Chain A
Amino acid sequence: MRPNLVLAFDTSAAHCAAALLSGDRVWLKSEAMEKGQAERLMPLITELLAEAGKALADITAIGVGTGPGNFTGVRISVAAARGLALGLGVPAIGVTRLEAMAFGLPRPVTVVEDARRDEVYVQRFDAGGAGVAQIMAAGVTFTGAVAGRDGLQSLPIAEAIARIAAARAGTAQPRPAPFYLRGADAAPSSDPPPVILEA
């Protein structure tokens, strides 16, 4: 069996981040950017592989950040992960940004992350598992340990995704799908159709 090598990446917010995880070794690359992730992601992955001295063919699983976050950013990574997985014949595993932020922290912990529009994404993790992810008003306060905001420091997101994906890689996983948490903001059309009279 070839040794496990997980490639993970995330573009769900103002960054382009990737990680490689092989056993206990981690290689990381992350760049802050508001836009341009679609152009940067593949070169970043190629550079990361080169730095680690690994080849694409060595990858045994892909971890990808599914959000919540920037809709377009999330789709950039999810689509790329599905393409890479299909091309390499390896599984792609979705990890939410909130799961990644909670990774490795003592539980219980509440993850709170900026959702823009004066709102935050919130999810509580305790020893038994994860609560329901929600959107709340930004002003809300929490008791107990909080990750994100000014609270506990999480692992770099791509590394956390890689570690979670590595743990899940042994079992069958659904294809990664964007985790939007927000609706598509589409209003049903308003004008009613005309009355049709009996002849």
Chain B
Amino acid sequence: MTGSLTFLGIESSCDDTAAAVVRHVPGQPAQILASIVEGQTALHAAFGGVVPEIAARAHAERLDHCVEQALAESAVALADLDGIAVTAGPGLIGGVLSGVMLARGLALATGLPIVGVNHLAGHALTPRLTDQLAFPYLMLLVSGGHCQFLIVHSEHRFERLGGTIDDAPGEAFDKTAKLLGLNQPGGPAVQTEAALGDAKRFAFPRPLLDRPGCDMSFSGLKTALLRARDAVIAEKGGLTVQDRRDLCAGFQAAVADVLAEKTRRALEVYAALNPARPALAVAGGVAANTAVRARLQTTCAQAGVEFLAPPLRLCTDNAAMIAWAGIERFRAGDYGSADLVARPRWPLDATAAPLLGSGKKGAKA
């Protein structure tokens, strides 16, 4: 496949319903002709986390509207498409299933090929969509549901160097916000408070830093935050605004420390490959955190590695990355299969030992 390819992408694996149209002409940067993302934050707000059944209900009634909107905005007709790419896992099965069935219906009706995309592969290939990054590069996925280091060798070979064995950092940020009475999503709220706080006042652990390798753990941080909070409350009967800022600062500094040190180790493993253009790319909402980002940038600079952060709307869940991953697979000769099935669990690197964790947002990989 050497010509221009235009793909529809469909994503519904967590709490964003998304559709996009992406076109790629070999030798040129890919064009995102439309990228529609409909979030569900308000639907889940009362429950302190994504409720799978509520998410599934919303996806089932929104997906086709998103697809129509993406086609209209891009002025691309179904007949102009070369294929359909849909997230087939991992994620919340109810949403994934709705996306896969919608895509299968569309494919049957139009005769278009359908490529099942691993959601994590979508994130991991995004630096090629935005920056034409060459293989192999190092990827840090750090979001509400995931945290892992991957060496991206090709559009289908991902080597996992390590990941969280329990919660993802975004989940820890959200939980912290909840424990401190801040708004959801917690990341931005905690960051704002932390900027005005003293990171040294409360001692937070740096889980697993004493152990070799790139695995991480964040659930202990949550517990430490709860203890520190309750100690202050026991003393004063509540938290002052400054207490809260200091707690946020201490928590955020611990997350940033862990991510920076584990990134340094992952970069060492990656350097052994002697990549021509060594680069670390990040994806996921937590990569938007300015403190985390500053630490990662420093770590990369020290290692002589380029730091690459795609724009936030392409770092968080979206369907442009799914369309793009579909295009990459298609070019590599994977023309998809009409009998595509949804897979709640689908590790990118099947050779790596399974991670223990299965976060609040559901078992991932």
Contact = CB atoms under 8 A, between A and B. Distances in A.
B98 A184 contact: no
Sorting the interface of chain B by its residue count into under 10, 10 to 19, 20 to 34 or 35 or more gives: 35 or more
Interface in A130-169: none
A172 interface: no
Contact of A195 (B48, B110, B239, B242): B239
Given A75-B97, A86-B64, A197 B338 contact: no
B201 to A, nearest CB: 16
Contacts, number: 144
A42 B108 contact: yes
Contact of A56 (B60, B64, B108, B339): B108
Interface in A182-198: 184-189, 191, 193-198
Task: Tell which of A46, A80, A187, A189 has the most Cβ of chain B within 10 Å.
Answer: A80
Interface in A66-112: 71-72, 75-88
B165 to A, nearest CB: 25
A45 B109 CA distance: 11
A25 to B, nearest CB: 22
A43 B102 CA distance: 15
B48 A189 contact: yes
A79 B102 contact: yes
A38 interface: yes
Contacts of B107: 83, 87
Given A46-B108, A76-B101, A79-B97, A194 B68 contact: no
A72 B159 CA distance: 33
Given A83-B109, A187-B47, A193 B104 contact: no
Contacts of B99: 79
A127 interface: no
Nearest to A39: B341
A188 B108 contact: no
Given A82-B64, A83-B64, A194 B229 contact: yes
A178 B180 contact: no
Contact of B244 (A71, A81, A196): A196
Interface in B213-241: 229, 233, 236-241
B100 interface: yes
A115 interface: no
B109 A56 contact: yes
A46 B244 CA distance: 60
Nearest to A184: B53
Contacts of A193: 178-181
Contacts of A79: 60, 63, 97-99, 101-102, 105
Contacts of B240: 196-199
Interface in B18-59: 46-49, 51, 53-54, 56-57
Contact of A88 (B46, B109, B181): B109
A14 interface: no
Task: State the 6 A-B residue pairs at the shortest beta-carbon distance, nearest first.
Answer: A83-B105, A87-B109, A193-B181, A189-B48, A195-B238, A79-B101
16 contacts: A45-B108, A46-B108, A75-B56, A77-B101, A79-B98, A82-B63, A85-B64, A86-B78, A178-B57, A178-B61, A184-B53, A184-B57, A186-B51, A191-B178, A193-B181, A194-B181
Interface of A: 38-39, 41-43, 45-46, 56, 71-72, 75-88, 175, 177-178, 180, 184-189, 191, 193-199
Given A38-B341, A42-B108, A79-B101, 7 more contacts: A71-B53, A81-B105, A83-B106, A87-B107, A175-B64, A177-B61, A184-B53
